[in-house]
Structure 1
Amino acid sequence: MGEAVTWTVVHAAEVLRAPTASDDKYSRGVVGMRTGSDTYPGAAMLGVEAAWRTGVGMVRYLGATRPTELVLRRRPETVTADGRVQAWVIGSGMDAAAREAHETRAQRGILTGRLPVVVDAGALDLVSGSVAPCVITPHAREHAALRAAIGLPAADAQDEQARIAAARQTAAALNVAVLLKGAVTIVATPAGWTARVDQTSPWLATAGTGDVLAGVLGALVAGAQAQRERAGAGDGLDAEALGPIAATAAWLHGGAGMVAAHRAGAGRPGPIVALDVADALPRAVAEALAAAS
């Protein structure tokens, strides 16, 4: 299958696209988000904030009352009515064991549709048998649980080569792109294409940063799907196309974490919170786009 590509700003620049004078909110991408819960409402706000800060054209948020209130208080431009989207983010800030039946039906409906889906946290249990093009975003414990559920053996979560092999195996078994979070993030597709992303800061290991990553990824997927639709490119994205997009999202997330940590420490890395990472995303996006010029 070959070596894993180490993802750099040059690779990220090839995936990103700056808006032009001919763009509107739909050509820039509309991401739908079914995230957060009354128990974990902050996850919704963090993911929505990150999607906006990454440069998506519109965010539609569909969730419970408490997270909806938080989202609108922070980002009043967010649309909270159902409607047209070009990609979905589901599961962030949700507990599969506590998920209500209507939410399970809604997420299953999304996973049996044609639009690309970012599947995070509390929706990972639903991904087996999905029809939609998916990229899943587990951390090590979630990945181990998912592999056990589909009958795959346990893998060494500390050894990078073992993580690469496991991510490839999971991607092939589920026919999805896998973004395996960690100090070095591994991205793999069903055909075995693999990237490693080591653009990061240890200060990113804090609550809520995974919700930010899901929002970044959702924004990029929606933008890429919008461009496919605009160009009349068949059925749009598939799991293979989602691989480089996921690697770019991980690169931007890590870059924003580094920017935020240096801001916090006034030039030296210092402690950050998840919202700091979302706030630093425009700088990370701008730096990546500059590499394309």
Structure 2
Amino acid sequence: MTTFNLLLIALIQGVTEFLPISSSGHLILLPSLTGLDDQGQIIDVAAHVGTLIAVILYFWRDVRSALFGTLRLLQGKIDTQGAFLALCLLIATIPVILFGLFLKLTGLSEAMRGIAVIGWAMIIFGIVLYWADQKGPMTKTAEKWTLKDAFQMGLWQAIALIPGTSRSGMTITAGRMLGYTRTDAARLSMLMSIPTIIASAAILSLDVVSSGDTSAWRDIFIVVSMSFAAALLALSLMMRLLRSVSYTPYVVYRLALGSILLWIAYT
């Protein structure tokens, strides 16, 4: 692939991964609407690794707490805040792994990669996000995360495997419905992305290894670096904006893009 194509893919993945506008939907649309070649699994893995590094760096305090907590959890102990956070993240990740395996084994993941599906998902779940953000109370903080809330947010995260829904959008929607503040709903959503991205990258990596195609190291370096930089910038801006701005601008974008996609799909 050309350097321009790689940079475009990395920027799209990096900017959209943590915004509630669906990174997978945008990456699927890129070759469909521009005529560019599909980026392939190796580039997908590289882009995910870049965004993974960004979220780990941005939320390093929480990540470090969860890492030490995981060691306590492996010893059968849930006696620290970090261990409980690690347990919540584990509970929240189980639904998306199971649903993801189901979609992959049945072939439904490929069947849903159409422009019409993405368009409808953009609009429908954009409206749901707007409703949750406007009507949801803001009485909980991330420190009050419970196992029940983690499981419910995990179920919403599993639905996000439908292209166009947005993983961050679905988990933020769930968080706002459960009463978390805008910034804390986003914070939990980003922390939930870490094990999910790791699982996704691991599955894609297995496909890459089985294919035997591991030659594109220059492309991998470019995509990892650029997706990391773009994701870190997008994440920083969103978390700052949420202190004074609602999720409405993202909803407007989803409705506009979804309408355009449906027009393209049906005409």
TM-score by length of 1: 0.24
Q: Which has the higher contact order (CA 8 A, sep 6+)?
A: 2
TM-score by length of 2: 0.25
